[in-house]
Amino acid sequence: MNFRIIVDNRERASGIPAILKRLGCRVWFSQLTVGDYIIAEGIGIERKSIRDFMRSIYDGRLFLQASALASEFEIPIIIIEGKLDDINADGRDVNVYFGAIASLMTNLKVNVVNTLDKQQTALLIYRLWLQISKPKKRRLVLKERKTRPKTLEEWQLYVVSSLPHVGEKTAQTLLRKYGTVRNIMNLTLQQFANIPGIGFERAVTIHKILNTPFSQTVKKKLNNLEKNTTKSQ
C-alpha cells in the first residue's frame, strides 16, 4: 500500500515536504498536535535542528515533547539536524547533548537519529516510507492488558485508546470533544480523518475495524488461540 506521509503545516516552509514529493512520496498537510511527520503504522517523527534540540533541553520542552511522542506512536523518532560543531559554537556542553539522547533512548524508548541537513532528513523519512509501504504478512495478535482499569474514566480511556493509532492523549482529546465512547465509535470516516494526529490513512483503518463484519476466519483463529491457551495452563 502506498501510504501518505502526514506533515505538520509548520514544516511546509522547511523544504523537506517538497523533497519528499520529488522522491515520489504522497504528502498530506495537517495541523498536528504531536510530531512533525507521521507515517502509517504508528511512526511519529519530531524534527529539530541541533541548536533547537539543545535549547529544548534547557527550557524543558524536550522531554515533554518526547513523552507525548512516545505515548502516541508505536515507533517514536526524533531527528536532530546539524553538526556537533554547532553545539560548541553556541558554548553548550556536548555532554549534556549525549546525556539527553541517552535518557530519551533508555527511559522513553525514543529513537534518536542525527542528520547533517534537510536533504538527509528527507532521505531518511523517504526510506522509512518505503519500508513501511512494503506489503507484509500479518499475524493476528491479541493486545495484552498491562493493568486493569478501575474507575469509569480509566475504562473509557482504555476502550478508546485500544483503537489503532490512538494513544492515551488522543483518547482524552476525543472524549473531551465527543463526550461518550459511543459517540466516538459512531464517528464518520471524515470526522476521524479531521482529528489531529490521525489523518486519512489511519481513519480508514479505524473505520474499517469499527464497521466491517467479524469474519469466520478470524473467529477460527481466536478459537484456536483460546484452545491452545487453555491447554498450556
- Answer with the one of 70, 101, 133 that is the final residue of a domain: 133
Which of 133, 166, 188 delimits the end of a domain? Answer: 133
Q: Do residues 96 and 176 both lie within one domain? A: no
Say if 144 falls within a structural domain: no
Q: Which residue has the higher pLDDT, 137 or 26?
A: 26
Angle between the N-to-C axes of helices 50-59 and 61-72, in degrees from 0 to 180, rounded to the nearest 10: 100
- Asked if residue 146 belongs to a domain, the reply is no
How far, in Å, CA of 65 to CA of 1, rounded? Answer: 30
For 166-186, what is the mean pLDDT?
A: 89
User: Are residues 127 and 63 located together in one domain of the fold?
Assistant: yes
Report the pLDDT value the prediction gives residue 227, as an integer from 0 to 100: 64
User: What pLDDT, on the 0 to 100 scale, is given for residue 193?
Assistant: 80
What is the value of pTM for the model shown?
0.61
CATH number for the domain including 76?
3.40.50.10130
Percentage of residues in the chain with pLDDT exceeding 90? 45
Q: What is the pLDDT of residue 141?
A: 45
Does residue 44 lie within any of the structural domains? yes
The answer on 80 and 175 residing in a single domain is no
SS3 content of the chain, % helix, strand, coil (to 5): 55, 15, 30
pLDDT digit string, tens, across residues 98-154: 999 999 999 999 999 999 999 999 999 999 998 887 765 555 444 455 567 789 988
Residue 97 inside a domain? The answer is yes
Q: State pLDDT tens for residues 57-105.
A: 999 899 999 998 988 888 999 999 999 888 877 788 899 999 999 999 9
Q: Is residue 138 part of a domain?
A: no
CA distance linking residue 223 with residue 226, whole number of Å = 5
Q: Domain end: 73, 103, 133, which one?
A: 133
| Cβ-proximal residues to 27 (8 Å cutoff; 6+ apart), any chain | 4, 5, 7, 17, 20, 21
Into how many domains does the chain fold? 2
Domain with 165, as residue range(s), is: 152-232
Same domain membership, residue 214 and residue 112: no
Q: Which residue has the higher pLDDT, 185 or 142?
A: 185
